[in-house]
């Protein structure tokens, strides 16, 4: 089997670069046929993945964090050759290994390479999101024809509201100086300061919902959110559904008191939390909090459409 590796050198504040030699040495020692490319800027991984599909590579390996995985997956699907789509392997050297936790892929390099070369696979669902590249506040019915429309594919989750603010802070100096867990927790607590609840209109299939005191909306396939945060749900990797978690403010003290439950996994005991399942979600524009974050990075703006692609991707697992 041939492997095409896509390295992200700035994953985990540049620590990925330190592991290159180890990864390449182990692969060469095992006489693996491979090539690799190194990203220089955002979205390079999309282009490299896209080209690797067209060049006929059998397995494409994301070497980075969840953001790198997201871009590699997007390149696989943008190539548009489902009958030739390669398998996805992951060597996680990023910050929060949410994808690996969910699919039980080890994060230690030696163990991850053994899994990669073992070749066992499974089919999983993938999310597709259509959104705007610029904050222009257009109506949802004009999204598909808008010149700034963007299409991405993701494996974990989409966040609107508080999530983009947490990601921006955590991906900046917080994780760099405080580490993964404390950095994300600090970013969460500080982002809550002066955050005003928002009004948001969404549609799940044909059902319409209005949230009047929303703090965050999460739409996803992966119950792990970031740095140990999680929401226990009935979602499975291949069940053809998305979970939609809304968090509304009941009171400041109640919200702060319930933050530890995000890490324990029982946040649904918070009265302001609601969990719904669906296959397609449409989110209208919000002028106060228009940003969208998915798979760890802030990438664009509302309005947006999110849908699940059932059993669309073959990944390498233990």
* Cis amide leading into 251 (omega within 30): no
Q: What is the pLDDT of residues 48-63, one digit of tens each?
A: 999 999 999 999 999 9
CATH code at 127-311? 2.60.200.40
Domain-wise residue ranges, the chain: 2-119, 127-311
53-56 — which CB contacts under 8 Å span 24+ positions?
Answer: 53/79, 53/81, 53/84, 53/85, 53/86, 54/79, 54/81, 55/4, 56/84
pTM beyond 0.85, yes or no: yes
Q: Which residues does 253 contact at the CB level (< 8 Å), separation at least 6?
A: none
Calculate Rg over the CA atoms of the chain: 19
Report the topology of domain 2-119.
Rossmann fold (3.40.50)
Percent of the chain with pLDDT over 90: 62
Q: At what angle do helices 44-54 and 66-78 cross, to 10 degrees?
A: 40
Torsion region of 76: left, alpha or beta (phi above 0 gives left; psi -120 to 50 gives alpha): alpha
CA–CA distance, 221 with 292 (Å, rounded to integer): 16
Q: What is the pLDDT of residues 90-144, one digit of tens each?
A: 999 877 788 999 999 999 999 999 999 997 999 999 999 999 999 999 999 999 9
pLDDT grade, residue 254 (50/70/90)? confident
| 127-311 shares the fold of 2-119 | no
């Amino acid at each position: 089997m041939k492997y095409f590796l896509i390295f992200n050198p700035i994953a985990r504040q540049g620590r990925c670069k330190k592991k290159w030699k180890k990864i390449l040495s182990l692969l060469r020692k095992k006489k693996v046929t491979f090539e690799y490319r190194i990203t220089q800027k955002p979205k390079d991984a999309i282009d490299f993945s896209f080209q690797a599909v067209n060049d006929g590579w059998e397995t494409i390996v994301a070497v980075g964090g969840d953001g790198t995985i997201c871009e590699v997956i997007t390149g696989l699907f943008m190539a548009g050759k489902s009958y030739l789509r390669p398998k996805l392997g992951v060597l996680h050297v990023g910050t929060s290994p949410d994808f690996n936790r969910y699919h039980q892929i080890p994060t230690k390099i030696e163990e991850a390479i053994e899994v990669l070369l073992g070749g066992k696979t499974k089919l999983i669902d993938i999310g597709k999101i259509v959104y705007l590249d610029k904050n222009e506040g257009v109506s949802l019915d004009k999204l598909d024809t808008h010149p700034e429309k963007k299409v991405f594919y993701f494996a974990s989750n989409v966040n609107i509201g508080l999530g983009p603010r947490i990601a921006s802070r955590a991906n900046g100096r917080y994780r760099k100086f405080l580490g993964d867990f404390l950095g994300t927790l600090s970013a969460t607590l500080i982002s809550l300061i002066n955050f005003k609840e928002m009004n948001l209109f969404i549609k799940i299939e044909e059902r319409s919902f209005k949230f009047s005191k929303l703090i965050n909306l999460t739409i996803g396939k992966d119950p792990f959110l970031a740095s140990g945060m999680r929401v226990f749900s009935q979602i499975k990797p291949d069940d053809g559904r998305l979970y939609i978690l809304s968090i509304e403010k009941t009171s400041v003290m109640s919200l702060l008191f319930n933050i530890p439950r995000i890490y324990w996994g029982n946040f649904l005991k918070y009265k302001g939390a609601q969990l719904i399942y669906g296959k397609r979600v449409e989110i209208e524009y919000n002028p106060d909090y228009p940003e969208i974050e998915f798979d760890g990075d802030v990438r664009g703006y509302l309005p947006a459409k999110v849908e699940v692609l059932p059993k669309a991707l073959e990944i390498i697992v233990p």
